[in-house]
A = this chain, B = another copy of it.
């Protein structure tokens, strides 16, 4: 659980009106982004959202997060920021049970399964589930990633009884 992100925004806002002398050690998001390319307002804000969330977010949820900060971020720019983060390996794109992509910050060396709730549509990261995936892939395939996808009802929805 990482719930630090609010204060990362203020140095950024200040830097727009007047470049501060030396705020080098910025947020983890800024550091990550700087290591891969240009640091921009929207990229930082989007990655902040992803890092602060303990579950994958779709574009809508991210937009809501950004709106809550009071800044305006263009819809298309957010899509492009997400594309870029995925391309850089900073974020991962996972297919939800609705037809919208969900995104999560990549934790290196941290394998976990995803649980898709059919009732509420959320995707939960099951940190504790380290699946024993023993795959014998036929000749010719080049494996890039293996993921265990679980479907069903999350605790909240299962408790409420419906199916």
Interface of A toward B, CB cutoff 8 Å: 95-97, 99-101, 113, 115, 118, 126, 128-129, 131-155, 158-159
A-B CB contact pairs (8 Å), 18 listed: A95-B99, A99-B100, A115-B137, A118-B144, A126-B137, A128-B136, A131-B135, A135-B148, A140-B158, A141-B152, A141-B154, A141-B158, A143-B150, A143-B151, A143-B152, A144-B152, A146-B148, A149-B149
How far is B150's CA from A128's CA once the two chains are assembled, in angstroms?
A: 21
**Given known A143-B150, A145-B150, contact A129–B136 (CB-CB < 8 A):** yes
CB distance B131 to A133 under 8 Å? yes
How far is B95's CA from A148's CA once the two chains are assembled, in angstroms?
A: 13
How far is B147's CA from A50's CA once the two chains are assembled, in angstroms?
A: 25
Chain B: CB-nearest residue to A100: B99
How far is B159's CA from A113's CA once the two chains are assembled, in angstroms?
A: 30
Chain B residues positioned under 8 Å from A131 (CB to CB): 133-135
**Given known A95-B95, A97-B95, A129-B137, contact A153–B144 (CB-CB < 8 A):** yes
Q: Which of B96, B129, B147 contacts A151 (CB under 8 A)?
A: B147
Chain B residues positioned under 8 Å from A138 (CB to CB): 126, 128-129, 155
Chain B: CB-nearest residue to A137: B129
Chain B: CB-nearest residue to A97: B95
CB distance A135 to B113 under 8 Å? yes
How far is B101's CA from A115's CA once the two chains are assembled, in angstroms?
A: 18
How far is B146's CA from A132's CA once the two chains are assembled, in angstroms?
A: 13
